[in-house]
Structure 1
Amino acid sequence: MEGLTRQIGRFAAEFELSAVPDASLEGAQTGIADCIGVMLAGSKEPAPNIIQRTCIDVDAERGAPVVPSRRWLAPADAALVNGVSAHVLDYDDVALAGHPSTVLTPAILAQGWASGSSGRDMLAAYIAGYETWALLDDLEPGHFHDLGFHPTAVLGTIATAVACAYLQRLTVEQATHAVALSASLAAGLVGNFGSMTKSLHAGRAAQSGVLAATLAKAGYTASVDAMEHRTGFMRTHSPSREPDLAERDHRLGREWRMPGYGVNVKRYPICYATHRAIDAVLALRAAESVAADAVAEVRVLTGETQRLMLRNRAPQTGLEAKFSMEFPMASALLAGRVGLRELTDEFVTRADVQELMSRVNVTTTKELAKDWDQPFAPVDEVTFVMKDGRELKADPVTRPKGSWQRRLTQDELREKFVDCAQDVLGDGTGALFDQLSNLKTLGSVRELDLFSTALA
């Protein structure tokens, strides 16, 4: 029986798109399109531009483009910069207790550009990476966040190596080494949430996946049991200290996890751990016509692990506010929305926002949802304690709007994409969304209007 590392390598080398369920194709196409829109919006932020300044230009024949600048970098470095852009706003989609699209898509764009990959190749690479991530997450009964590891950074690195191994058409042996290499490159700490470094987690995972596949193709080797060895990835990164490493056929490419877990598209550019509570506040505010100045206290019941992620109690910047429960409660109640316009330093530091944040009281439960891949409580609950003594309770929220179980319509997906990309692409925004919504017909990554418009 082949070990876990080699089974993943074989899956990457022998992946067949023809065997993939329609739901997986839908999820991959949604994830890629949504990520590219968010990436374009994030490209204007300081973090990716600082990263860009540290990178060395190469000629177009050897490089891949940084979106939306006119710069050409080595494919791994292009994946790094674009990965930071994709994650810096925290507007990218969510699944598997992390952000699969924000690492897979930048790497697939960069490696796909270098390899001349088709739209079908992009979909296949995404699904191969996603399925690998899902398997590894299933094999670990604990939650990576609890040990301080960011799943996007650690599992994302290995998933991206699989995606790039597929795009580079590695042999089984080469792909196995790429997986093993990526296991030593996987890193990222929850302790850096609420800072620029969180978005670097995504960029480095994308970069490392490209690098691992490229090195393996060039003949670089690693231990072919690096995943399952007693000092390998699965045990050293295990929150439970009891990963499921029983020898067996993991049936990669024959049993599919993506139709069940899917892709959860974000409606708010803020940590996903807040989204159910935001939905609850907005619904209660609208139903009861609540004015912020009539509320004495906002009570939130959420999960203990969610609270661990939301470390900033009194944020002073837009970036800090992305990892706060207090801020989105105040923003939703005051402004009736939590969008890009609210996630600014100016809005966060407004006196009325700061004062209302001080009236948000968060309590937690250790209970976890049993039917979700997020380490969240079964529901999030919100109560407004009014100044006249009344208590108004929102309906508990199990899944936020935009989740795989409550999917956005195609029109809603387009609306978010245009909102993110319009300032960068202008008139080309709609055409790009149409291309991304029909990736199976795209002849080459290089045909995407994303590049011809942004790099013109």
Structure 2
Amino acid sequence: MDSITLKAAQFVTGFDAGTAPEAARHAARIGFVDCIGCMLAGAAEPAVELAAVIATPMPGSNEAAPAVNGRFYGAGDAALINGVAGHVLDFDDVALAGHPSTVLVPTILALGHERHSTGAEALAAWLAGYELWAHLDEIEPGHLHDRGFHPTAVMGTLACAAAAARLLGLNVGQTRHALAIAASLAAGLVANFGSMTKSLHAGRTAQSGIHAARLASAGYTGSADVFEHRTGFLRAFSPSGTPQLDPAGFRIGEVSLAERYGVNLKRYPTCYATHRALDAMLDLVRQHDLAPDTVETIHVHTGATQKLMLRNSRPQTGLEAKFSMEFAMAGAVVQRRLGLDELTDGFVQRPEVQALLERVEVTASEDKAGADLPNAPFDLVWVDTTDGRVLRHAPVAHARGSWQLPLERAEIRDKFLDCASRKLPQARAGQLFDRLWALEDIRDLREIALI
């Protein structure tokens, strides 16, 4: 009998990446590039070394996978550490209301290293995981954030199990069990945004995907109807309470959602809910030469779900500031940019930044654009100046770097070098970028040297 769970397992095992649209393949390619850059940039963050406390190094083992902290681990622990590193700066790509590459890439790199997987196999595993996540998301009309769940940690666990099942070569039955096991390992709360635990979501998600696939490979079992059962995954996590449970409506394999939604690359290391407003604010700063002492009030009108994620109106640390619209606006005015160097405790606590936080007013609409992100149709930003002017920016529907307004290769390279060169010499970072850009040509993932 046909079911959503069975169709998912059949797709994962039978998916032929060679038939995927070039746009989908490009999404996977830039997802790898961007995530690995972010992993290298995040390698020195305290959260990464703290997460390593629960991982077991495997020095001297030829099968151990590298982590960006400079040590080798079993695949699950390497994925844990690299996932934390990739997400801790909140600079990683966005799609499907979450962060697909920051969980898929650490999963694939770690397990693929162990199995000598090729770049083409890595790309296929990323696409299999992405498509599963996307198509499950399509049959749920609500948004997980609204119920307090972090989609990266919930849907991402299933995606990582699918990617791991591909790399392990599991059959349909084993893959079905892997997805069922992963469904019970999925967890992560929006309440932990702005803390180290948000990056732990990514690391544990990647690790859980590997564990689920390995357990299934060893004969561990899960429910054959884990997605559609009345006490199963889709109902249990449903924010709407009305998920589409008819297998005919689950169109995985019929249309590529990776082609449709792709990945949105971040230009700022803050929650993506701030990016449209940041584009607008920085435009106003440059066009009108705004400075803190010329600003009376900054107004931002955004979406209710975006505002829900941006929980810190008066941040005191770099981590808290990543989830603050008030900080995004204040930082943009004070520094006329917003990059990794501004997301530090010292910058956040500067008196002129803290003073400007008080002059940012954020309102929200319940309207949603629909697509793959729980955003309002557009964000609005306007500024009341101390000399009585009102400076308005046109509505912003898509952030620069989004799938709709993509970055050029040179811009992606610039971001990668800015991130990777914080860990690697500049020349080596450039070589790594070129290698990753030609992902399908890599004969063995061990050629990707993270340490």
- Give the TM bin, normalised by the shorter chain: over 0.9
Which residue is 1:308 aligned to? 308
What are the within-5 Å matches in structure 2 for residues 51-70 of structure 1? 51-58=51-58, 59-69=60-70
Which residue is 2:156 aligned to? 156
Distance (whole Å) between structure 1 residues aligned to residue 249 and residue 243 of structure 2:
16
Structure 1 contact 174–217 (Cα < 8 Å) conserved: yes
Distance (whole Å) between structure 1 residues aligned to residue 92 and residue 222 of structure 2:
32
Which residue is 2:179 aligned to? 179
Distance (whole Å) between structure 1 residues aligned to residue 447 and residue 67 of structure 2:
15
TM-superposed deviation, 1:246: 1.1
Distance (whole Å) between structure 2 residues aligned to residue 94 and residue 249 of structure 1:
25
Structure 1 contact 83–206 (Cα < 8 Å) conserved: yes
Q: TM-score, normalised by structure 1?
A: 0.97
Any idea what SS the aligned residue of 1:184 has?
helix
TM-superposed deviation, 1:54: 2.3
Distance (whole Å) between structure 2 residues aligned to residue 247 and residue 353 of structure 1:
52
Structure 1 contact 121–167 (Cα < 8 Å) conserved: yes
Q: Deviations over 1:362-391 (max 9, x none)?
A: 111111113x31111111111110111211
Structure 2 contact 136–250 (Cα < 8 Å) conserved: no
Which residue is 1:394 aligned to? 393
Distance (whole Å) between structure 2 residues aligned to residue 394 and residue 365 of structure 1:
18
Distance (whole Å) between structure 2 residues aligned to residue 137 and residue 254 of structure 1:
15
Q: Deviations over 1:220-273 (max 9, x none)?
A: 111111111100100000000000001327343332111111100000000000
| Residue-pair matches, total | 449
Structure 2 contact 133–159 (Cα < 8 Å) conserved: yes
Structure 2 contact 44–69 (Cα < 8 Å) conserved: no
Distance (whole Å) between structure 2 residues aligned to residue 404 and residue 4 of structure 1:
28
What are the within-5 Å matches in structure 2 for residues 48-127 of structure 1? 48-58=48-58, 59-69=60-70, 71-127=71-127
What are the within-5 Å matches in structure 2 for residues 45-444 of structure 1? 45-58=45-58, 59-69=60-70, 71-248=71-248, 250-370=250-370, 372-426=371-425, 427-444=427-444
Consecutive unaligned residues of structure 1, counting only runs of 5 or more, are none
Structure 1 contact 19–253 (Cα < 8 Å) conserved: no
Segment of structure 1 superposing worse, 100-109 or 389-398: 389-398
Distance (whole Å) between structure 2 residues aligned to residue 177 and residue 368 of structure 1:
35
Structure 2 contact 49–69 (Cα < 8 Å) conserved: no
Identity of aligned residues (%): 53
Q: Letter of the aligned partner of 1:374 in structure 2?
A: L
Structure 1 contact 116–446 (Cα < 8 Å) conserved: yes
TM-superposed deviation, 1:334: 1.2
Structure 2 contact 118–442 (Cα < 8 Å) conserved: yes
Any idea what SS the aligned residue of 2:422 has?
helix
TM-superposed deviation, 1:61: 2.9
Q: Letter of the aligned partner of 1:412 in structure 2?
A: E
Any idea what SS the aligned residue of 1:424 has?
coil
Q: TM-score, normalised by structure 2?
A: 0.98
Which residue is 2:18 aligned to? 18
> What value does the CA root-mean-square deviation take over the aligned residues?
1.0
Q: Letter of the aligned partner of 1:423 in structure 2?
A: R
Structure 1 contact 68–424 (Cα < 8 Å) conserved: no
Any idea what SS the aligned residue of 1:423 has?
coil
Distance (whole Å) between structure 2 residues aligned to residue 132 and residue 352 of structure 1:
46
Q: Letter of the aligned partner of 1:110 in structure 2?
A: A
Distance (whole Å) between structure 2 residues aligned to residue 302 and residue 47 of structure 1:
30
Distance (whole Å) between structure 1 residues aligned to residue 158 and residue 435 of structure 2:
28
Q: Letter of the aligned partner of 2:143 in structure 1?
A: H
Distance (whole Å) between structure 2 residues aligned to residue 250 and residue 388 of structure 1:
57
Any idea what SS the aligned residue of 1:26 has?
helix
Q: Deviations over 1:305-348 (max 9, x none)?
A: 11100000100000000000000100111111111110000000
Distance (whole Å) between structure 2 residues aligned to residue 73 and residue 38 of structure 1:
20
TM-superposed deviation, 1:412: 0.2
Distance (whole Å) between structure 2 residues aligned to residue 376 and residue 249 of structure 1:
24
